[in-house]
Structure 1
Amino acid sequence: MDFHCHLDLYPRAKEVYREATQRNDFTWLVTTSPKAFAATSRALPASPSVLISPGLHPEIAHERAPELDLLLEQMAGVKAVGEVGLDGSPRFRTHYEVQRRIFRAVIKRSVELGGRTLSIHSRRAVKDVLADLDACPGYGTAVLHWFSGNQAELRAAIAHGCWFSIGPALFESENGRRLAGAMPHDQVVPESDGPFAKVGGRPVMPWSAPETAQCLSEVWNLPVRVTADMLASNGANLRKTTEI
């Protein structure tokens, strides 16, 4: 399983897509803009094991803001949305208000539609992400992708009921390993974030769940097989409860 992957952006994307359909029971293909969602949905054949969701990445929110209405329209036809969220890092802080306007609109639309599963980017913005979610009860389910906050923010996210999608690249930093070690065992699912996430200079592939289980087993102090089974069970539970 892979709960956050930019499958359409790999070199030779159609080949990677075909292999992912063969190797994964489920792959969540998150897109970075509404127009990208439309193009990807046309370019890749439908598969019961691949979920393609519309999104509007906060890093390009200021460039793609005119596409917000299209995103809100697309959300009516899917159970999941992503990648969406906020990025408060210095490079993107200038456009933070645009990001927040878009994120709030997505959450509000999710409530109107009866709830959606959101794959959320929260770099240096965890407090605001949680505040915006709290302001709209009934939005659905939050899956925080590649969580990189601090321990207090992690506790707040856990208290909120968030899920966490993590991949091998998260374990490249000490902070990432500490955060993973403190995540609730029943609210973690695997992701790749490929092709952007890299390990050893190479993009993480959509079938990297065994690598995630290996890394996670070390910080959870559990056998690899137990950890892998736990991730698979978590993924099945998340899909069942959210109908994605």
Structure 2
Amino acid sequence: MDFHCHLDLYPGAREVHREAAHRNEFTWLVTTSPKAFAATSRALPAAPSVLISPGLHPEIAHERAAELGMLLEQMASVKAVGEVGLDGSPRFRPHYEVQRRIFRAVVARSAELGGRTLSIHSRRAVRDVLADLDAHRGYGTAVLHWFSGSNLELKAAKELGCWFSIGPAMFESASGRTLSAAMPHDRVVPESDGPFAQMGGRPVMPWSAPETAQRLSEVWNLPVGAVADLLANNGANLRRTMGV
């Protein structure tokens, strides 16, 4: 399983898509813009195990703000949305108000539609992400992708009922290992974040869940098999919530 993957952006995307559809029980292909969602939906063949969702990545929100209306329309016919969110890092902070306007609109639209599952980017912006979610309690389910906030922010996210998608590259940093160790065992699912996430100079592939289980077993102090079973059960539970 892979709950956050930019499958359309890998070199040789068609072949990677074909392999993921064959190897994975489920792959969530998140897109970076509404136009990218439309193009990817046309370019890649439909596969029952691959979910393609519309999104508007905060790193390009200022460039694609005019596509917000398209995204809100697309959301009516999908069960999941991503990648969306906020990025408060120095490079993107100048466009933060545009990001915030877009994310608030997405969360409000999710509530209006009866709830959606959101794959959320929250780098240096966890407090505002959680505030916007809390303001629209009917938004559905939040999956915080590659969470990198503080321990206090992690605690707040857990209390709000958020899920967490993590991949093997997250364990490359001490902070990533510490945060992973503190995540609720019943609300963690695997992701790759490929091809952006890399290890050893190569993109993490969509079938990296066994490696995530291995790394989690070390910080959770549990047998690898037990962690693999937990991730499988969690994935099944989240998919039932998503309706896919």
Which TM-score band applies after superposition, normalised by the shorter structure? over 0.9
Q: Which amino acid aligns with 1:78?
A: V
Alignment of 1:68-217 (within 5 A): 68-217=68-217
* SS in structure 1 of the partner of residue 186 of structure 2: coil
Cα deviation for residue 242 of structure 1 reads 2.4
Cα deviation for residue 201 of structure 1 reads 1.1
Q: Which residue of 1 aligns with 2:238?
A: 238
Q: Residues 138-165 of structure 1: CA distance to partner in whole angstroms, max 9, x if unpaired?
A: 0000000000001000000000000000
Percent identical residues: 82
Counterparts of 2:224 and 2:151, CA distance in 1: 25
Q: Which residue of 2 aligns with 1:43?
A: 43
For structure 2, the 5+ residue unaligned runs are none
Q: Which residue of 2 aligns with 1:61?
A: 61
TM-score (norm 1): 0.99
Q: Which amino acid aligns with 1:210?
A: P
Q: Which residue of 1 aligns with 2:226?
A: 226
Q: Is 2:42 the partner of 1:28?
A: no
Counterparts of 1:242 and 1:119, CA distance in 2: 11
Cα deviation for residue 116 of structure 1 reads 0.2
Number of residues of Structure 1 aligned to a counterpart in Structure 2: 244
Counterparts of 1:12 and 1:98, CA distance in 2: 33
Q: Residues 164-190 of structure 1: CA distance to partner in whole angstroms, max 9, x if unpaired?
A: 000001000000000000000000000
Counterparts of 1:61 and 1:142, CA distance in 2: 19
Q: 4+ residue stretches of structure 1 with deviation over 6 A?
A: none
Cα deviation for residue 122 of structure 1 reads 0.1
Q: Residues 5-43 of structure 1: CA distance to partner in whole angstroms, max 9, x if unpaired?
A: 000000000000000001000000000000000000000
TM-score (norm 2): 0.99
Counterparts of 2:119 and 2:111, CA distance in 1: 15
Counterparts of 1:152 and 1:223, CA distance in 2: 28
